[in-house]
Amino acid sequence: MSITPMRSLYAALITLALAGCGSSQPGLDQTGANPDLPGKRQTLVPPIRIATPEGWDGESPTAPQGFTVTALATGLKVPRQTLVLPNGDILVAEGSGGSAPLMRPKDVIAGYIKSLGKTPVKGGNRITLLRDADGDGKAEVRTTFIDGLNAPYGLAFVNGSLYVANQDALLRFPYRDGITRIATPGQEVTKLPSRLNHHWTKALTASADGTKLYVGIGSNSNVGERGMAVEEDRAVIWEIDRATSAHRTYASGIRNPTALAINPQSQALWSVVNERDELGPQLVPDYLTSVRPGAFYGWPYSYWGNNIDPRVHPQNPKMVEKAIRPDYALGSHVAALGLSFVTGTGLGPSFTQGAFVGQHGSWNRQDLSGYKVVWVPFANGLPAGKPVDFLTGFIKDGHARGRPVGVTYDPSRGSLIVADDLSNTVWRVAPARPVQARFAPAQ
Amino acid sequence: MPNMPMGFRPFLHPLHGLLLAFPVALFTLALVTDITYLQTAEIQWTNFSSWLIVGALLGGGLVLIWSIILAVVSRRRAHRRPSLIYAGLIAIMWIAGLVNAFQHSQDAWSSVGVTGLILSIISAALALTASWVAHRTVREMAR
């Protein structure tokens, strides 16, 4: 059966239906510790707006005054997360994963609509090394560092070992300073849950002392619509012992933890998390939170603490009671995919303590949201203030020129690395006159 | 063809009758799978409903067009009234089915719930009624 007639039918109807259900209420404050949460709005057709791609045309994203933005590398194959090695070399994980079958007509149509806002390039399934030895913001050395991976995403470096989180397994590679290629296959540390992989990205970071690895494993559905049987070991963060490779569930009910990082002040594990869709344009806020060991964050039964999601049956009041509120809302549907704390002198006087958050951008609201990198100021290891736009200009005239994913603070040069998986570029944001970088350990 | 004896003209063309079988069977089955989902919360039943409704809409869409043509061209004929009733029933059935297709695109329990069940009852009942009207009309004509 051809789906083309249904596709055009749905497209026509979506246009009609959108007129009535898409608008956000103005004046809601959905960032910070206590976001405004409007009532649930389930509509026949969810509000949808896709920013279709458009080239940069020689331009770059916009950074605050005093910073320059350069394309460290272009023409990559879907760059997602980056890692700065001790010698300043930058690794870029490139790939696209997921193997969830189309179960409903909706899956066919929604998949097509969302694909309109993505790059047509096929994921590289590799890690590319970029070296900018002269610090001009352009990588003069570029090599395929590791090939033949399976949708790599999370990267971590501990004590001479490089860890790569494929969509189905965590791999370890031995690393020597200065090498530009690893040809030997990685050693499998542990398999990772990979059935369906509706949310396929496996975020990764190492504990401050390097003894533990943390892996973010997203849910296998928006809100349980593939059945709860496939949600075993999903919407969790695993803690993996580096010495024994044994794992335990560190936190659960955490819908899609897309980036993990260690807070340099408190040494606690933090995560950005993507929350559920189709409850309205302003539900549910994605969030940034410290991850408390053993905590349950509500998914799928409730959101932002104990706000019940009516779509889950049977409901589970006991789990709703246990659900804790995250620390800090980032806004609804912004799709936070990148998280990096600054260390040392940070990015200059205005950015000395806090975290950068890469926001891939929304589809489930009429007013495009996200599509930028924000700065969340911290004090004493906790968020202290509203998010501040740091890197913008990804949207121009309703079209997306790029979509930020991973963000990585480079302590050796006092710059920020931003992966853009729409224009397939890695951007570097650096002070126009480099601040005197005080070297900090690349943890 | 005003003087043509109408007693031997079947109301539905055989192909029209065949197409009509799709919404009759598929909307009715979707009602059954909806009820089963609400009884079991087993997600596969609502997935079945989604596809059944889409199938019913595809077959039913052609029936809808055909029924409207029948209602228009039969303006001066004796079976004007049944053809209008028939087209009306098919139209409401199809619109209810279309709304239901979107309802079923919501996630998990919201894909059916009370609204989905009511819409499934409406579209199934109207498909059966429309079919009854159409086939009864054939028999009366053929008497």
The answer to whether residue B98 neighbours chain A at the CB level (below 8 Å) is yes
pLDDT at B17: 93
Q: Categorize the per-residue pLDDT at B79 as very low, low, confident or very high, splitting at 50, 70 and 90.
A: confident
**Who's near A360: CB < 8 A, 6+ residues apart?**
A334, A335, A336, A337, A370, A371, A403, A404, A405, A421
Residue A419's pLDDT is: 98
What is the Cα–Cα distance from A70 to A428, expressed in whole angstroms?
5
Residue to mutate among A6, A104, A255, A309, with most B CBs inside 10 A, is A104
Q: In the prediction, which pLDDT does A267 show?
A: 97
Residues of A in contact with B51 (CB under 8 A): 104-105
- pLDDT for position A2: 42
Question: Which residues of chain A does B50 touch, with a Cβ-Cβ cutoff of 8 Å?
Answer: 104-106
Residue B109 and residue A312: Cβ atoms within 8 Å? Answer: yes
Q: How confident is the model at residue B11 (pLDDT cuts 50, 70, 90)?
A: confident
Which residues 6+ apart lie within 8 Å of A290 measured at CB? A263, A266, A268, A269, A270, A327
Contact criterion met (CB < 8 Å) for A104 and B104: yes
Q: What is the pLDDT along chain A (443 residues), one digit of tens a residue?
A: 344 445 555 554 554 454 445 689 999 999 999 999 999 999 999 999 999 999 999 999 999 999 999 999 999 999 999 999 999 999 999 999 998 999 999 999 999 999 999 999 999 999 999 999 999 999 999 999 999 999 999 999 999 999 999 999 999 999 999 999 999 999 999 999 999 999 999 999 999 999 999 999 999 999 999 999 999 999 999 999 999 999 999 999 999 999 999 999 999 999 999 999 999 999 999 999 999 999 999 999 999 999 999 999 999 999 999 999 999 999 999 999 999 999 999 999 999 999 999 999 999 999 999 999 999 999 999 999 999 999 999 999 999 999 999 999 999 899 999 999 999 999 999 998 655 544 444 44
pLDDT of residue B98: 98
Q: Would the CB atoms of A227 and B44 count as touching at under 8 Å?
A: yes
What pLDDT score does A438 carry?
46
User: Phi/psi of residue A229, each to 5°?
Assistant: -65, -35
Q: For the purposes of burial, counting CB atoms within 10 Å of the CB of A13, is it exposed (0-12), middle (13-18) or buried (19 or more)?
A: middle
Q: Which residues in A lie closer than 8 A to residue B107 (C-beta atoms)? A: 221-225, 278, 311
Distance from CA of A13 to the nearest CA of B (A): 10
Task: Name the residue type at position A257.
Answer: P
CA distance A337 to A357: 7
Amino acid B75: pLDDT = 61
Distance of CA A58 to the CA centre of its chain: 26
Token output for B76: 């001066």
Amino acid sitting at position A110 = A
Contacts of A155 (CB under 8 A, 6+ apart): A81, A82, A83, A91, A93, A127, A162, A163, A164, A165, A204
Q: Which residue has the higher pLDDT, B5 or A411?
A: A411
- Residue A105 to residue B41, Cβ atoms within 8 A: no
Q: What is the ipTM of this complex?
A: 0.86
Q: What does each C-alpha distance from A175 to A88, A210, A225, B36 come to in angstroms? A: 14, 16, 42, 56
pLDDT-based confidence at residue B143 (cuts at 50, 70, 90)? very low
- At residue A161's C-alpha, the angle toward residues A158 and A163, to 5°, is 85
- Measure in Å the smallest separation between the Cα of A28 and chain B Cα atoms: 25
**Paired sense of beta strands A79-84 and A67-73, if any:** unpaired
What is the rounded distance in angstroms from the CA atom of residue B79 to the CA atom of residue B17? 17
Output the CA torsion sign for A316, A317, A319, A323: positive
Phi, psi of A204 (to 5 degrees): -150, 140
Tell me the count of A-B CB pairs closer than 8 A.
61
Residue A22 contacts residue A127 (beta carbons within 8 Å): no
pLDDT for the residue numbered A4:
47
> What pLDDT shows up at residue A105?
95
The letter for the amino acid at A74 is T
